[in-house]
Amino acid sequence: MSQSRIAAFFTSLSFFVIAALVAGVVVGALAQGSQAAWLTGALGVVESLGQVWLNALRMTVIPLVFSLLVTGIVSIADAAATGRIAVRSLVVFGVLLVGATLYAILAGLGLLAVWPIDPEAGRGLLAGVSAESLATVGEAARTDGLRAFLASLAPANVIKAASDDGVLAVVVFAVAFGFAATRIKAQLRRPLAGFFEAVAETMVVIVHWVLLAAPFGVFALALGVGLRAGLGVAGTLAHYVAIVCLSQIGLILIIYVVAIVWGRISLARFARAVAPAQVVAVSTQSSLASLPVMIERARDWLGVPQTSAGLVLPLAVAVFRITSPVANLAVCLYVAQLHGVELGLGVLIAGGLTAIAVSIASVGLPGQVSFFAAIGPICLAMGLPLGVLPLLLAVEVIPDIFRTVGNVTADLAATRIVAGDGAALVGDEGAPLQ
């Protein structure tokens, strides 16, 4: 990583959030055991401010997700209208996204079964979360079976469902609204899409404003954690990072297999083709920044015609984020075990469907914004509290690297698959075979 990027990191919001987390835990741990009355009062005020900050983030979730879903569906429909390659690309993206979501649920549950959260350490991490946040486990998490899940898909009053955090019902309505918008006249559809795009952009601005206070909000929550649990909470956060990263590493390995089998390319050739793009992804944590090198590698190493690569890869960067459901569900499953919530089949399906929807809705959002915009609705759909998410946001830097690497790898694999018989055979050094 260049010196300029290192300097940029140390002046970024991510660094200040991490520093706030460490400072809060350390200050709280040092004050642990103090019986001073002023400390108890100050802690109550600080925790209240932290809750206000969390509520300010939470109030943007429903309008942001609804607006992004509508505009995302309209844009996908417009892309599909551009030709056969675009339609084939969207089909491949959809199949891979559904497969990744199924993998995410199995991998997340499997990893937490093999390597569960230490109960005592988990209670320590939750020590700084307000009782109000811990009490917000919704009906979805308390209800087992498909019956309640199916009933939640079409509520009699979608406004009431939104006010009750019935995110899945809102998502279903937004998807139906978006597809219905693609069937109306273009002169009506364009201003409608523009309106919801403006709403989404406005919500993003509000989230940016709230996130400017993220170091203070995270410090407030971490102070309570440190005061009640001490420095031992660091082990739980490290365990969380490991679980989320392992889920994504497993997905990346599966993408290699999919590229070999479905894309009909050797492991060595595909690995050498994607390696430079992965290096750019690690250093920039941006799929968009990796786009130029992805187009070059797809053309020179994967044998994809320039015209196909120039269409499929930008479309993939715009609407396809395969690691989103994997990482986001890993976070939600971790939150569920952290709170001791048993998840039934209906809840898992609700979480999976919401994860697919928000993976489309959150494409193109900045990292900190997308963390809440994507994970918040999934947690709400599964009936899980949001209070611990700010602490998890503070250590999102490492999992975010694997998110980008996985997306770049999947983008190139999908491009090779879409090219199909049109992909040229290439030699070991990337030159086309005559």
291-304, pLDDT tens digit by residue? 999 999 999 999 99
Using DSSP's 3-state secondary structure scheme, residue 283 falls into helix
What is the C-alpha to C-alpha distance for residues 295 and 284, in angstroms, rounded to an integer?
17
| 425 pLDDT higher than 60 | no
pLDDT digits (tens, 9 = 90+) for 73-115: 888 888 777 778 889 999 999 999 999 999 999 999 999 999 9
Is the confidence at residue 146, as pLDDT, over 60?
Answer: no
Q: What is the per-residue pLDDT for 416?
A: 95
Rounded (10°) CA dihedral 368, 370, 374, 376: 30
Residue 120 predicted with pLDDT over 90: no
Give 265's Cβ-side CA count (13 Å radius). Answer: 36
**Per-residue pLDDT at 336 exceeds 50:** yes
Predicted pLDDT of residue 82 = 72
Nearest to 153 by CA among 381, 412, 419, 427: 381
* pLDDT given at position 374: 85
For the chain, what percent of residues have pLDDT higher than 70?
83
Instruction: Please tell me the predicted confidence (pLDDT) of residue 433.
Output: 39
Ranges 57-61, 286-290, 325-329, 358-362, most confident: 325-329
State the average pLDDT for the chain.
83
Per-residue pLDDT, averaged over 193-211, amounts to 89
Q: If you average pLDDT over residues 339-350, what whole number do you get?
A: 89
pLDDT at position 77 is 84
Mean pLDDT of 325-353: 93
pLDDT reading at 140 higher than 50: no
Distance linking the first and last C-alpha atoms of the chain: 39
Name 426's bridge partners.
Answer: 432
Percent of the chain with pLDDT over 90: 37
C-alpha angle 391/321/278, rounded to 5°? Answer: 90
Q: Quick one: three-class SS letters along 46-113?
A: HHHHHHHHHHHHHCCHHHHHHHHHHHHHHHHHHHHCCCHHHHHHHHHHHHHHHHHHHHHHHHHHHHHH
Question: What are the phi and psi torsion angles at 426 (to 5°)?
Answer: -125, 150
pTM of the model: 0.85
Report the range of poorest mean pLDDT among 11-20, 181-190, 191-200, 315-324.
11-20
Helices (H), 164-185: 167-181
pLDDT number for residue 250:
97
User: What was the pLDDT predicted at 40?
Assistant: 57
pLDDT of residue 34: 63
Q: Which pLDDT score, from 0 to 100, does residue 191 have?
A: 94
CA distance 184 to 196: 16
Predicted confidence band of residue 196 (pLDDT cuts 50, 70, 90):
very high
Angle at 411 between CA 202 and CA 266, to 5 degrees: 170
DSSP-derived 3-state class of residue 45: helix
Work out the average pLDDT over 119-136.
67
> What are the tokens at 345?
């089949």
